[in-house]
Amino acid sequence: MKTLLIVYHTMTGGTQQMAEAAAAAARDQSDVSVELKRAVETGPDDVLLADGYLFATPENLATMSGLMKDFFDRCYYPVLDRVNGRPYAAMICAGSDGQGALRQIERIALGWRLNAVAPGIIVCTHAQTPERILARKVIGSADLARCAELGAGLAAGLSLGVF
């Protein structure tokens, strides 16, 4: 059985909603195991045991969150040259444009020699004041559907051996 690892960090709930939508849709692929894990609880062994990845992070100060970066820092060298060619995709919960966070994940994935199998999804909440930035996020149904489609697509590709 193939395994899809979904690694996420959240502070205000938006990224978690996105990751959960992707995981739920991926689980509909009966012959794919889906591991949904917080970045702080995920280590190199989890990465090595998975066949594909979905990385989800909030945008913080135009970059990925510090705890998502911590996940990559802890896992990068222990799995380097051991995950080459595996598929991945990324999701960003952004307050402005999310491009900086997405670029960071793409560069790390390039170093790991992962294969991007879908364009990154950026959900922009337009939170620009301290109150809105720190407020609990509610991701709309259309954006959650995009996340679900990505999760289902990754799982289907793994299941069918497409990637």
Q: How confident is the model at residue 29, as a pLDDT?
A: 78
Confidence of residue 119 (pLDDT cuts 50, 70, 90): very high
Indicate whether 30 pLDDT > 80.
no
32-86 per-position pLDDT tens digit: 999 999 999 999 999 999 999 999 999 999 999 999 999 999 999 999 999 999 9
List all residues 6 or more positions away from 91 whose beta carbon is below 8 Å from its beta carbon: 15, 18, 19, 22, 54, 55, 56, 57, 120, 121, 122, 123, 147, 150
Q: Are 42 and 5 in contact, with CB atoms under 8 Å apart?
A: yes
Indicate whether 126 pLDDT > 80.
yes
Q: How confident is the model at residue 77, as a pLDDT?
A: 98
Task: Supply the pTM of this predicted model.
Answer: 0.97
The pLDDT of 128-144, averaged and rounded, is 95
Rounded to the nearest 5°, which phi and psi values hold at 18? -65, -45
- Report the topology of domain 2-160: Rossmann fold (3.40.50)
Per-residue CA distances from 104 to 2, 20, 90, 121 (Å): 27, 22, 10, 14
Burial class (CB in 10 A: 0-12, 13-18, 19+), 131: exposed
- Cα 19 to chain centroid, rounded: 7
